[in-house]
């Protein structure tokens, strides 16, 4: 093997080891409860209503509050926050 090839193999091995350590640290952090799980996220799509071929009205739940969005067309718009039972 040439010395140049040895340097490339060493660099690839070091990169693989660093990526493996990052993945292991992420798993340990999730198990210890330090990182939030993706399944119980803060943002959730409640309902979706197609208004026409391009525009859609979305009801999104964010941190326990409801948000109405109009998407499509020239730009997306926030219609507003809806009052919930806790308001």
pLDDT over 70 for what percent of the chain? 89
Radius of gyration of the chain (CA): 23
- Kindly report, residue by residue over 29-63, the tens digit of the pLDDT: 888 888 766 655 678 899 999 999 999 999 998 88
> What pLDDT, on a 0 to 100 scale, did the predictor assign at position 42?
79
- What rounded mean pLDDT belongs to the chain? 87
One-character DSSP codes across 7-75: HHHHHHHHHHHHHHHHHHHHHHHHHHT-S--STT-SEEEEEEEE-SSS-EEEEEEETTEEEEEEESTTS
pLDDT greater than 80 at residue 84: no
């Amino acid at each position: 093997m040439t010395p140049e090839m040895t340097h490339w193999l060493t660099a690839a091995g070091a990169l693989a080891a660093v990526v493996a350590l990052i993945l292991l640290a992420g798993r340990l952090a999730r198990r210890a409860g330090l990182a939030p799980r993706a399944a119980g996220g803060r943002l959730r799509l409640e309902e979706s209503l197609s208004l026409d071929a391009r525009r859609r009205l979305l009801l999104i739940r964010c941190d326990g509050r409801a948000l109405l969005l109009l998407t499509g067309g020239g730009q997306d718009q926030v219609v507003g926050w809806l009052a919930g039972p806790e308001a």
